[in-house]
Amino acid sequence: MDFKIVLTTFGMIFLAELGDKTQLATFALAAESKSRLGVFLGSAGSLVLTSLLAVVFGTGVSRLFPANYIKTGAGALFVLLGLWMIFFPGGK
């Protein structure tokens, strides 16, 4: 196992998750729940499962497209979703 990859991935995901809507939802659930362990296990389990799906699909997609195309596509998708949220905020 390449510990540089492990630490780089940990650092990137940890920083990306700080203050995002998933963490805020977990914060709110923990504040109103009597079972904080249940909230932690549910939250941790969902993050592990979504990470597993990302690794599986990322591995599959990388067999079809070069990594730089995937990174460019992911960056473009982030920009498009950001613009969508700015111009079509959803409310009434």
Q: What is the CA radius of gyration of the chain?
A: 17
Alpha helix ranges (H) inside the chain: 3-17, 21-32, 36-62, 67-87
* pLDDT tens for each residue of the chain, 92 residues long: 899 999 999 999 888 888 888 889 999 999 999 999 999 999 999 999 999 999 999 999 999 999 999 999 999 998 999 899 899 887 66
Q: What is the DSSP letter of 54?
A: H
Q: CA–CA separation, 35 vs 30, rounded Å? A: 8
pTM of the predicted model over 0.95: no
Q: CA–CA separation, 17 vs 9, rounded Å? A: 12
List Cβ<8 Å contacts ≥24 apart for 45-50. Answer: 47/17, 47/22
Write down the pLDDT at residue 76: 96
